[in-house]
Amino acid sequence: MDKFCKRIESKKRLYATLLSLAETDRATKKVLQITDPVLFKEVISNFGPVLDKGKEKVDLQTVFDVTLHKETGALVISNKGATLFSLSPKTKSPYLVRHIGFCVYFPGLGIELVNVGLVGNVYDGKVVLRSESACTPSFLFGSQRCNCHHQWESIRELAAHFNPIIPPQVRSGEAFEQWVQKQLVHKGGKHLFRSVGSPGFILMHLDMQNGMGSGYSEDEFSFDLYSRASMRHRGEYTSEQVHQTSMLGGFEAIGLRPDPRSELGNVGYKLAFVILDIIGVSKDIIVLTNNPLKLLHLKNNGYRLTRVKSVGEVNLAGAKEAQERGSDFGHRDINGECISFEEEMSRLKEEICSLVGGRQ
Which amino acid belongs to residue 69? H
**Which secondary structure element, helix H or strand E, spans residue 110, and what is its range?**
strand 110-119
Same domain for 148 and 54: no
Q: Which of 70, 97, 117 marks a domain boundary?
A: 70
How far is residue 288 from each of residues 89, 131, 136, 191, measured CA to CA in Å? 18, 8, 21, 22
Point out which residues pair with 287 in neighbouring strands.
129, 307
Please report the pLDDT score of residue 258 as a whole number.
94
Same domain for 112 and 12: no
For residue 175, is it within any domain? Answer: yes
For residue 250, is it within any domain? Answer: no
* Nearest one of 50, 104, 41, 100 to 72, comparing CA atoms: 104
Q: Which of 70, 91, 123 marks a domain boundary?
A: 70
Max Cα–Cα distance, the chain, nearest Å: 59
Please report the pLDDT score of residue 68 as a whole number.
97
Percent of the chain predicted with pLDDT > 90:
92
Q: What is the pLDDT of residues 12-33, one digit of tens each?
A: 999 999 999 998 988 888 999 9
Same domain for 107 and 194: yes
Query: pLDDT grade, residue 44 (50/70/90)?
Result: very high
For residue 106, is it within any domain? Answer: yes
Q: What is the pLDDT of residues 276-312, one digit of tens each?
A: 999 999 999 999 999 999 999 999 999 999 999 999 9
Same domain for 55 and 94: no
CA distance 302 to 299: 6
pTM: 0.96
Same domain for 297 and 339: yes
Q: Which of 44, 70, 96 marks a domain boundary?
A: 70
How far is residue 39 from each of residues 14, 43, 53, measured CA to CA in Å? 9, 6, 12
For residue 130, is it within any domain? Answer: yes
358 pLDDT more than 80: no
Same domain for 91 and 35: no
Query: pLDDT grade, residue 3 (50/70/90)?
Result: confident
What average pLDDT is seen over the chain? 95
Return the CATH number at 158.
3.40.50.10990
66, exposed or middle or buried, with CB in 10 Å at 0-12, 13-18, 19+?
Answer: buried
Same domain for 339 and 272: yes
Please report the pLDDT score of residue 40 as a whole number.
96
Which phi and psi (to 5°) does residue 257 adopt? Answer: -70, 135
Alpha helices in the chain, H assignment, sequence order: 2-24, 37-46, 136-141, 148-162, 173-181, 210-213, 225-242, 247-253, 263-266, 271-279, 292-300, 319-327, 341-356
Please report the pLDDT score of residue 360 as a whole number.
55
Query: pLDDT grade, residue 359 (50/70/90)?
Result: low
Mean pLDDT along residues 193-198: 88
Q: What is the pLDDT of residues 86-136, one digit of tens each?
A: 999 999 999 999 999 999 999 999 999 999 999 999 999 999 999 999 999
Mean pLDDT along residues 230-249: 96
Q: What is the pLDDT of residues 156-181, one digit of tens each?
A: 999 999 999 999 999 999 999 999 99
**Which secondary structure element, helix H or strand E, spans residue 100, and what is its range?**
strand 94-106
Mean pLDDT along residues 41-48: 95
The total number of structural domains in the chain stands at 2
**Contact present, 85 and 176 (Cβ < 8 Å):** yes
Which domain covers residue 293, as residue numbers?
81-229+262-356
Q: What is the pLDDT of residues 328-348, one digit of tens each?
A: 999 999 988 999 999 999 999
Q: How many Å from the N-terminal Cα to the C-terminal Cα in the chain?
A: 56
Please report the pLDDT score of residue 273 as a whole number.
97
Please report the pLDDT score of residue 112 as a whole number.
97
Query: pLDDT grade, residue 357 (50/70/90)?
Result: confident
Please report the pLDDT score of residue 290 as a whole number.
96
For residue 241, is it within any domain? Answer: no
**Torsion 204-207-210-213 (CA) sign:** negative
